[in-house]
Amino acid sequence: MTETRYLDRQLQPITALQADTLLGDRDYRVIDETHAGDHHIYTEWTATGPSINGQSAVFTTRVYIGDQIDDQHARLYTSEAAARAGHAETVSAVTA
């Protein structure tokens, strides 16, 4: 069985307890959030995620329309900088 690897926003290893504490801190967890009409674009740090090209994707953007997730615009990122840029791109795509 593989042990879950947790990373902070700087991609440094942390314990499960540290991850749990940070996930409970909305100011730490949420990277960006935008409301546009009935769309809610939400980008956050998740502490763990799938590997993309050998790097853990610990950031994600999700788009909600009302209470439904719009899977077409869901994205994963391996860095906070990419997550911030991806959030802006998603906002542009959703509001175009």
Does 1 reside within a domain? Answer: no
Asked whether the CA dihedral 84, 2, 23, 95 is positive or negative, the reply is: positive
Does 79 reside within a domain? Answer: yes
**Rounded distance between C-alpha atoms, residue 87 and residue 44, angstroms:** 10
What integer pLDDT is reported at residue 2 of this predicted model?
Answer: 59
What integer pLDDT is reported at residue 92 of this predicted model?
Answer: 95
Where the chain has pLDDT below 70, the residues are: 1-3
Is residue 36 within 8 A of residue 58, CB to CB? The reply is no
Does 27 reside within a domain? Answer: yes
What integer pLDDT is reported at residue 96 of this predicted model?
Answer: 82
What is the value of pTM for the model shown? 0.91
What integer pLDDT is reported at residue 95 of this predicted model?
Answer: 87
Domain that holds residue 48: 6-95
Count of domains observed in the chain: 1
